[in-house]
Amino acid sequence: MKKVNKTWGVDLFLGIALILFVIFTMSFKVTKNPWEAKDLMPAKELADIINDPKVEKPLIISIGPSGLIKGAIEVGETKESENISKLKQLLSKLKKNKKIVVYCGCCPFKDCPNIRPAFSLLKSMQFENAKLLDLSTNLKVDWIDHNYPMAE
């Protein structure tokens, strides 16, 4: 008499589970960020620019709910369509070579609902010198805790 492997049911279950896991994970669309590493401006670099009276300042735009960096203008959370419209109106008055830095800082980049729509707009409007301020953790950790300049 042939001996039956008693683990065949477990093996079958694990095999099916693995196949379903692969199909499930492949079905998620991978969201590519609209910026590249070269599009990120280190926080210290912007702080140095703000603190140097001899250096031309970029247009600094707050696109989130966090605090206001010195010299920044506030557009509001760009996850909201009315604020994207405000940003588009502001940008439409500028030359394409204008130096622009946008930032949010509400949360880590991976979770931020504001930076992708704002930076996508900058790209679609073909701004040559657009940067995303690298506040990859948040405004407090990456800016305020370093005593970089905030609006008064």
pLDDT value of residue 24: 56
Question: Three-state secondary structure along 59-100?
Answer: EEEECCCCCCECCCEECCCCCCHHHHHHHHHHHHCCCCCCEE
Q: 37-146 falls under which CATH superfamily? A: Rhodanese-like domain (3.40.250.10)
What predicted TM-score, i.e. pTM, was given to this entire model?
0.79
pLDDT in tens, 91-130: 999 999 999 999 999 999 999 999 999 999 999 999 999 9
Residue 60 has pLDDT above 90, yes or no: yes
At residue 152 the predicted structure's pLDDT band, cuts being 50, 70 and 90, is confident
Residue 14 has pLDDT above 70, yes or no: no
Cα-Cα end-to-end distance for the chain: 87
Of the two residues 13 and 17, the one the predictor is more confident about is 13
The candidate with the shortest Cα–Cα distance to 143, out of 56, 52, 51, is 51
At residue 29 the predicted structure's pLDDT band, cuts being 50, 70 and 90, is very low
Q: CB neighbours of 88 closer than 8 A, spacing ≥ 6?
A: 121, 125
Domain boundaries, the chain: 37-146
What's the whole-number average pLDDT of the chain? 88
